[in-house]
Structure 1
Amino acid sequence: MTVSAARTKERYGAVQERLAEGKSLGAIGRELRLDHSTVRRFARATSIDELLVKAVNRQSILDECKPYLHERWNEGCHDIPRLHREIQALGFPGDIQTVRRYLRPAKERGLPKAPRPALRPRRVVRWIMTGPDRLSSSDAQELKEICATCPHLDATARHVRDFATMLHDRRGDLLLDWMNRVLADDLPALHSLITGLRRDQDAVIAGLSSHWSSGQVEGHVTRIKLLKRKGYGRANLDLLRRRVLLAS
C-alpha cells in the first residue's frame, strides 16, 4: 500500500469512528486538524474503496523522482536534505517537506523496489499517434505492454495507425473496409467518428486519394477573415475588397 493510500485509510477510520460517537464535522476537523472539506469528503464516502481509488491514482509532482529516491534510499543515503538537493538538480520543483512526508514511513519499514512512474494519458496518445518506426525502443515496448493489458486500447491504436497509413499512402479506396473493421469493435468513440465520415463520405475518400490539398484555400480564407476582423465590422465590401487585393 502506498503512503497516500495508508494515510487515506487511517483518516477514513478516524473520521468514521468519531461520526459514530455523534461528533460534528467541525469538532472532528479540530480534533484531527483537518480542513472542513476534507472531513466532509471522508464523512460522505460510502466506502474506503471509493477514497482509495482516488488516493492510489493521484498524481504528485514527486512521481518522476520516486524511482531515484528509492534507489538512493536503498543504497543507504537517508539524508533527506541531501536527497532533496539531488532531486532539485534533476528538476524537482517542490520543497523539502514534500520529500520528508514521502520518506517518513521509510524510516520504519524501508522502501520497496522503485515504483514505475505513472503514465500520463497524453503521453500514451502521443505514442499511438507517432509512427512505429519513429518511436524509441523503450517507448515502443512500453506501449506494447500497455496495449496488451487493454484490448480496447490495442484495437484503437491499430485503427489509428491504419488510418494514418491510408492518409500517408493516399489509399482512399481502403476507407470503407477500415470503417467496417472499426464498427466490428466495441469502440463507441470511434463509432461516432464513422458516423461523421459517412455524412460526407465521397469528400473524405477524395481527400484520402488525391494529391491536391485545400490547405492554400483554407489559408486564404483565414487571411480574409483576419482582414475583415481588423475592420471591427465597420468596413464595407468595397474597402474589404481593396484590402484583400492590395494585401496579396
Structure 2
Amino acid sequence: MHDLLDQGVGVLDCARRLGLALNTVRRYARASEPDQLRRPPYYRACSVDLYRDHLRQRCADQLGVPVLHLFHQIKALGYTGSLNLLHKYLNQGRAENDRITPSPRRLTSWIMSRPTDLPSGRRAHPNELVVSCPEMTDLARLVGEFASILGERRGSDLDGCMRQVREAGLTELEPFLRGLDQDHDAAVAGLTVPYSNGPIEGVNTKNQADQTTNVRAVSFELLRHRILLT
C-alpha cells in the first residue's frame, strides 16, 4: 500500500486495487510501521483471571502440560468454571507473560478513569505502563490531582496544580493551561462555589426551542405566558 502511495496513487484508487475498505486503507496509510497497527484484544473478566499467575508459572515450568492437569490443579484452588472456559482462556494466550502495548486512546481512557471503576487486572496493567515512563508517571499523578480538585471543589489549589504541570515539562498540556489562564477567575469559581449556570442555560435552550417551533402557531402573549409558567 505504501509503495502505491509513494507512486502517487490516491487512497481511493489504492482501496480499489487492493480490494480493501477505504477506512482500512486510510488507517494503514497513517501507520509508518506494521507494529503501529497492532491493537490489544479486549477480554472481559472471567473466573480464570484469579489463577492467571499460577497457570503462567505452571506453563513455564512444564512445557506442554495437559490442560486437564491445569484444570484439576486450579479446581483444587477453588476454581468454579468449566474446562471449556479454561481451554478458551489458554488458546487466547491470556496466561502468557507478554502483554501487547495498548493503543494511546485506551491508555488515555484508563488514566482518565477512576481507579476504583477499573477491574483489578485493568488497574495493574496501566500502572505497569505508567511506571516505565517518568513523563507518564507525572501525567497520571497530575491528572489524579486535578480530578480530586474537581471532585472536592478545591479551587484554591488550582494554581498549584498548574504550576506542577509546568514544572514537569508536560508541553502537551500547555494549550489546556492557556485556556485556564484566560478564564482563570471563572475556572476557580467553578471549582469552588456550588452554583452553576447550567439550569439557566437549560431554560434558555428550551425557550428558544419553543419559540422556534411555536412562533407561527401561537400569539406572542401565549408564548410569553408559557415561558413565565415554565
Q: TM-score, normalised by structure 1?
A: 0.52
For structure 1, the 5+ residue unaligned runs are 1-7, 16-23, 25-33, 39-49, 66-70, 78-85, 91-112
| Counterparts in 2 of 1:231 and 1:120: CA distance versus 1, 3 Å | farther
For structure 2, the 5+ residue unaligned runs are 8-14, 20-28, 44-55, 57-63, 68-83, 89-95
CA contact (8 A) 2:31 2:37 kept: no
- Give the aligned partner of residue 12 of structure 2: none
- Give the aligned partner of residue 127 of structure 1: 110
Out of 199, 217, 223, the residue aligned to residue 216 of structure 1 is 199
- Give the aligned partner of residue 54 of structure 1: 33
Q: Does 1:184 align with 2:167?
A: yes
Out of 130, 137, 152, the residue aligned to residue 120 of structure 2 is 137
1:97-112 paired onto structure 2 within 5 Å: none
By how many angstroms is 1:233 displaced?
9.0
CA contact (8 A) 1:152 1:187 kept: yes
CA contact (8 A) 2:130 2:136 kept: yes
Amino acid at match of 2:147: A
CA contact (8 A) 1:63 1:118 kept: no
In terms of mean alpha carbon deviation, does 172-181 or 119-128 score higher? Answer: 119-128
RMSD: 4.3
CA contact (8 A) 1:224 1:244 kept: yes
Amino acid at match of 1:58: L
Which secondary structure does the structure 1 equivalent of 2:102 belong to?
coil
1:24-173 paired onto structure 2 within 5 Å: 36=17, 53-59=32-38, 63-64=41-42, 116-117=99-100, 119-173=102-156
| Counterparts in 2 of 1:36 and 1:134: CA distance versus 1, 3 Å | closer
- Give the aligned partner of residue 81 of structure 2: none
| Counterparts in 2 of 1:181 and 1:114: CA distance versus 1, 3 Å | closer
- Give the aligned partner of residue 174 of structure 1: 157
- Give the aligned partner of residue 72 of structure 2: none
Q: TM-score, normalised by structure 2?
A: 0.56
- Distance in 1 between residues matched to 2:133 and 2:218, nearest whole Å: 56
By how many angstroms is 1:114 displaced?
7.7
- Give the aligned partner of residue 211 of structure 2: 228
List per-residue Cα deviations over 1:151-183 (Å, max 9, x = no partner): 333222222111111111111111111111111
By how many angstroms is 1:205 displaced?
0.9
CA contact (8 A) 1:228 1:235 kept: no
Aligned residues: 169
Amino acid at match of 2:156: D
